[in-house]
Chains A and B, each alone.
Chain A
Amino acid sequence: EVQLVESGGGLVQPGGSLRLSCVPSGFTFSRFWMSWVRQAPGKGLEWVASTNPDGSERYYVDSVKGRFTISRDNAKNSLYLQMNSLRAEDTAVYYCARNWHYAFDLWGQGTLVTVSS
Protein backbone atom coordinates (compact mmCIF):
# COMPACT_ATOMS: atom_id res chain seq x y z
CA GLU A 1 0.00 0.00 0.00
CA VAL A 2 1.24 3.46 -0.89
CA GLN A 3 1.34 5.51 2.30
CA LEU A 4 3.22 7.86 4.58
CA VAL A 5 3.33 7.40 8.34
CA GLU A 6 4.45 10.19 10.66
CA SER A 7 5.61 9.89 14.23
CA GLY A 8 7.38 11.92 16.89
CA GLY A 9 4.76 14.45 17.87
CA GLY A 10 3.91 15.27 21.45
CA LEU A 11 3.86 17.91 24.15
CA VAL A 12 6.96 20.09 24.48
CA GLN A 13 7.72 23.24 26.44
CA PRO A 14 8.41 26.56 24.71
CA GLY A 15 12.04 26.68 23.67
CA GLY A 16 12.23 22.91 23.47
CA SER A 17 13.01 20.57 20.60
CA LEU A 18 11.30 17.72 18.82
CA ARG A 19 12.13 15.54 15.83
CA LEU A 20 9.38 14.28 13.57
CA SER A 21 9.81 11.26 11.33
CA CYS A 22 7.95 10.13 8.24
CA VAL A 23 8.26 6.63 6.85
CA PRO A 24 7.03 5.99 3.32
CA SER A 25 5.94 2.69 1.82
CA GLY A 26 4.75 1.43 -1.51
CA PHE A 27 6.82 3.75 -3.72
CA THR A 28 10.43 4.66 -4.47
CA PHE A 29 11.04 7.35 -1.85
CA SER A 30 14.37 8.46 -3.29
CA ARG A 31 12.77 9.69 -6.51
CA PHE A 32 10.49 12.29 -4.98
CA TRP A 33 10.65 15.76 -3.50
CA MET A 34 9.12 15.60 -0.01
CA SER A 35 7.56 18.24 2.23
CA TRP A 36 6.14 19.01 5.63
CA VAL A 37 2.84 20.89 5.91
CA ARG A 38 1.22 21.93 9.17
CA GLN A 39 -2.24 22.86 10.34
CA ALA A 40 -2.81 24.74 13.58
CA PRO A 41 -5.97 23.80 15.49
CA GLY A 42 -9.02 25.11 13.64
CA LYS A 43 -6.84 26.83 11.03
CA GLY A 44 -5.77 26.32 7.44
CA LEU A 45 -2.85 24.52 5.85
CA GLU A 46 0.62 26.04 5.96
CA TRP A 47 3.61 24.77 4.01
CA VAL A 48 6.64 24.37 6.28
CA ALA A 49 9.54 22.90 4.32
CA SER A 50 10.53 20.87 1.27
CA THR A 51 13.58 18.90 0.17
CA ASN A 52 14.67 17.47 -3.17
CA PRO A 53 15.23 13.76 -3.85
CA ASP A 54 18.85 13.61 -2.68
CA GLY A 55 18.40 16.09 0.18
CA SER A 56 20.83 18.64 -1.22
CA GLU A 57 18.19 21.38 -1.55
CA ARG A 58 16.01 22.57 1.31
CA TYR A 59 13.41 25.30 1.42
CA TYR A 60 11.54 26.74 4.40
CA VAL A 61 8.73 29.12 5.22
CA ASP A 62 10.18 32.29 6.72
CA SER A 63 8.67 31.69 10.17
CA VAL A 64 10.72 28.51 10.76
CA LYS A 65 14.01 29.44 9.06
CA GLY A 66 16.91 28.96 11.45
CA ARG A 67 14.80 26.85 13.83
CA PHE A 68 13.60 23.86 11.75
CA THR A 69 15.64 21.51 9.58
CA ILE A 70 14.20 19.14 7.00
CA SER A 71 16.33 16.14 6.14
CA ARG A 72 16.04 12.67 4.66
CA ASP A 73 17.85 9.36 4.73
CA ASN A 74 17.09 7.52 1.53
CA ALA A 75 18.95 4.44 2.71
CA LYS A 76 16.67 4.26 5.74
CA ASN A 77 13.62 5.36 3.77
CA SER A 78 12.84 8.21 6.11
CA LEU A 79 12.05 11.92 6.13
CA TYR A 80 12.67 14.08 9.19
CA LEU A 81 11.83 17.47 10.59
CA GLN A 82 14.07 18.66 13.41
CA MET A 83 12.30 21.43 15.30
CA ASN A 84 14.24 23.61 17.73
CA SER A 85 13.36 26.72 19.74
CA LEU A 86 9.71 25.77 19.56
CA ARG A 87 7.06 28.43 20.13
CA ALA A 88 3.39 28.28 21.03
CA GLU A 89 2.55 29.25 17.46
CA ASP A 90 4.22 26.08 16.20
CA THR A 91 1.41 24.05 17.77
CA ALA A 92 -0.19 22.13 14.91
CA VAL A 93 -0.76 18.81 13.24
CA TYR A 94 2.27 18.19 11.06
CA TYR A 95 1.76 16.29 7.82
CA CYS A 96 4.38 14.65 5.69
CA ALA A 97 3.54 14.99 1.98
CA ARG A 98 4.91 13.73 -1.32
CA ASN A 99 5.49 16.25 -4.09
CA TRP A 100 4.23 15.43 -7.57
CA HIS A 101 3.57 17.80 -10.45
CA TYR A 102 3.91 20.84 -8.16
CA ALA A 103 1.23 19.42 -5.88
CA PHE A 104 1.06 17.21 -2.79
CA ASP A 105 -0.40 13.94 -4.02
CA LEU A 106 0.16 11.73 -0.98
CA TRP A 107 -0.27 12.74 2.67
CA GLY A 108 0.36 11.03 5.96
CA GLN A 109 -2.20 10.92 8.76
CA GLY A 110 -0.43 13.70 10.64
CA THR A 111 1.24 13.96 14.03
CA LEU A 112 0.23 16.53 16.65
CA VAL A 113 2.82 18.86 18.14
CA THR A 114 1.73 20.87 21.15
CA VAL A 115 4.02 23.61 22.50
CA SER A 116 2.91 24.62 25.96
CA SER A 117 4.22 25.04 29.47
Chain B
Amino acid sequence: QSALTQPASVSGSPGQSITISCTGTTSDVGGYNYVSWYQQHPGKAPKLIIYEVSNRPSGVSNRFSGSKSGNTASLTISGLQAEDEADYYCRSFASGSTPVVFGGGTKLTVL
Protein backbone atom coordinates (compact mmCIF):
# COMPACT_ATOMS: atom_id res chain seq x y z
CA GLN B 1 0.00 0.00 0.00
CA SER B 2 1.48 3.32 -1.11
CA ALA B 3 1.77 6.23 1.27
CA LEU B 4 0.06 8.61 -1.16
CA THR B 5 -3.23 7.77 -2.85
CA GLN B 6 -3.72 8.23 -6.59
CA PRO B 7 -6.49 6.98 -8.86
CA ALA B 8 -5.40 3.83 -10.67
CA SER B 9 -6.43 5.18 -14.05
CA VAL B 10 -7.78 8.22 -15.84
CA SER B 11 -8.61 8.81 -19.46
CA GLY B 12 -9.37 11.62 -21.82
CA SER B 13 -9.68 12.46 -25.49
CA PRO B 14 -7.13 14.45 -27.46
CA GLY B 15 -7.46 18.16 -26.74
CA GLN B 16 -9.26 17.65 -23.44
CA SER B 17 -7.90 18.32 -19.94
CA ILE B 18 -7.55 15.79 -17.16
CA THR B 19 -6.59 16.04 -13.52
CA ILE B 20 -4.84 13.43 -11.39
CA SER B 21 -5.13 13.69 -7.63
CA CYS B 22 -2.59 12.69 -4.99
CA THR B 23 -3.88 12.49 -1.44
CA GLY B 24 -1.70 12.28 1.62
CA THR B 25 -1.73 13.61 5.15
CA THR B 26 -0.52 16.59 7.15
CA SER B 27 2.76 14.70 7.58
CA ASP B 28 3.55 14.79 3.88
CA VAL B 29 1.51 16.52 1.14
CA GLY B 30 -0.34 18.82 3.52
CA GLY B 31 2.67 19.76 5.57
CA TYR B 32 5.16 20.76 2.92
CA ASN B 33 5.27 22.36 -0.51
CA TYR B 34 7.54 19.60 -1.73
CA VAL B 35 5.28 17.64 -4.04
CA SER B 36 6.69 16.54 -7.37
CA TRP B 37 5.22 14.67 -10.32
CA TYR B 38 6.79 12.19 -12.73
CA GLN B 39 5.84 10.84 -16.13
CA GLN B 40 6.91 7.32 -17.04
CA HIS B 41 6.49 5.72 -20.43
CA PRO B 42 6.66 1.89 -20.65
CA GLY B 43 10.17 0.59 -20.31
CA LYS B 44 11.61 4.05 -19.65
CA ALA B 45 12.92 5.87 -16.62
CA PRO B 46 10.62 8.39 -14.93
CA LYS B 47 10.83 12.03 -15.96
CA LEU B 48 10.30 14.98 -13.62
CA ILE B 49 7.48 17.23 -14.84
CA ILE B 50 6.51 19.26 -11.74
CA TYR B 51 8.48 20.13 -8.59
CA GLU B 52 7.60 22.07 -5.44
CA VAL B 53 3.87 21.65 -6.15
CA SER B 54 3.59 23.86 -9.21
CA ASN B 55 6.98 24.55 -10.82
CA ARG B 56 7.92 23.15 -14.21
CA PRO B 57 11.53 22.20 -14.98
CA SER B 58 13.06 23.74 -18.05
CA GLY B 59 11.85 22.02 -21.20
CA VAL B 60 8.59 20.66 -19.79
CA SER B 61 5.48 21.70 -21.69
CA ASN B 62 3.25 24.35 -20.10
CA ARG B 63 0.36 21.96 -20.71
CA PHE B 64 1.41 20.38 -17.42
CA SER B 65 0.48 22.23 -14.23
CA GLY B 66 0.37 21.39 -10.55
CA SER B 67 -1.50 22.63 -7.51
CA LYS B 68 -2.27 21.71 -3.91
CA SER B 69 -5.17 22.15 -1.52
CA GLY B 70 -4.86 20.81 1.98
CA ASN B 71 -3.64 17.23 1.90
CA THR B 72 -4.31 16.74 -1.82
CA ALA B 73 -2.05 17.69 -4.69
CA SER B 74 -3.19 17.67 -8.29
CA LEU B 75 -1.60 17.39 -11.70
CA THR B 76 -3.51 18.84 -14.63
CA ILE B 77 -2.68 18.10 -18.24
CA SER B 78 -4.38 20.35 -20.74
CA GLY B 79 -4.69 19.87 -24.48
CA LEU B 80 -4.17 16.12 -24.18
CA GLN B 81 -1.93 14.58 -26.80
CA ALA B 82 -1.33 10.95 -27.70
CA GLU B 83 2.24 11.21 -26.36
CA ASP B 84 0.87 12.02 -22.89
CA GLU B 85 -0.29 8.43 -22.51
CA ALA B 86 1.91 7.15 -19.69
CA ASP B 87 2.01 6.40 -15.98
CA TYR B 88 2.14 9.37 -13.61
CA TYR B 89 3.49 9.35 -10.06
CA CYS B 90 3.37 11.93 -7.31
CA ARG B 91 6.06 12.18 -4.66
CA SER B 92 6.24 14.16 -1.44
CA PHE B 93 8.68 14.93 1.31
CA ALA B 94 7.45 13.44 4.57
CA SER B 95 8.22 13.77 8.25
CA GLY B 96 9.08 10.64 10.18
CA SER B 97 11.28 7.68 9.38
CA THR B 98 10.50 7.68 5.64
CA PRO B 99 11.33 11.13 4.22
CA VAL B 100 10.29 10.29 0.65
CA VAL B 101 6.91 8.85 -0.25
CA PHE B 102 5.42 8.07 -3.64
CA GLY B 103 1.88 7.61 -4.83
CA GLY B 104 0.86 4.30 -6.34
CA GLY B 105 0.76 5.73 -9.84
CA THR B 106 -1.97 6.60 -12.32
CA LYS B 107 -2.23 5.20 -15.82
CA LEU B 108 -3.36 7.86 -18.27
CA THR B 109 -5.07 6.62 -21.41
CA VAL B 110 -5.60 9.00 -24.32
CA LEU B 111 -8.68 7.73 -26.10
A35-B100, A59-B99, A110-B45 known; A101 vs B105 contact (CB < 8 Å): no
* Given A62-B97, A100-B51: A105 and B57 interface contact (C-beta under 8 Å): yes
- On chain B, which size bracket covers the interface? 20 to 34
Complex CA–CA separation, A20 to B42 (angstroms): 23
**Selected interface stretch from A10-18, A41-49, A72-80:** A41-49
Q: Are the C-beta atoms of A95 and B98 separated by less than 8 Å?
A: no
> What A residues does B97 contact at CB under 8 A?
62
Which chain A residue has the least Cβ–Cβ distance from B44?
A109
The interface residues of chain B lying within 8 Å CB-to-CB of A107 are: 45-47
Q: What does the 1/0 interface line of A95-117 toward B look like (CB < 8 Å)?
A: 10000111111011110000000
A50-B100, A105-B51, A105-B57 known; A45 vs B89 contact (CB < 8 Å): yes
Number of A-B residue pairs at CB separation under 8 A: 59
Contact A108 B45, beta carbon cutoff 8 Å:
yes
- CB-nearest residue of chain B to A48: B100
A44 and B52 contact, Cβ closer than 8 Å, known pairs A95-B46, A102-B36:
no
**A88 at interface by CB-CB < 8 Å:** no
**Number of residues from A at the complex interface, CB < 8 A:** 21
B2 within 8 A of A: yes
Contact B98 A45 (CB under 8 A): no
Query: Given B48, B51, B55, B102, which contacts A44 in the complex, CB threshold below 8 Å?
Result: B102
Q: How far apart are the CA atoms of A45 and B36 in the complex, in Å?
A: 13
Give the nearest-CB partner of B4 in chain A: A44
**Contact status B45-A95, CB under 8 Å:** yes
Minimum CB–CB distance from A63 to chain B (whole Å) comes to 10
How many whole Å from A53's CB to the nearest CB in chain B?
A: 16
Complex contact A47–B46 (CB within 8 A): no
A29 shortest CB reach to chain B, Å: 18
Residues of B within 8 A of A (CB): 2, 32, 34, 36, 38, 40, 45-48, 51-52, 55, 57, 89, 91, 93, 97-105
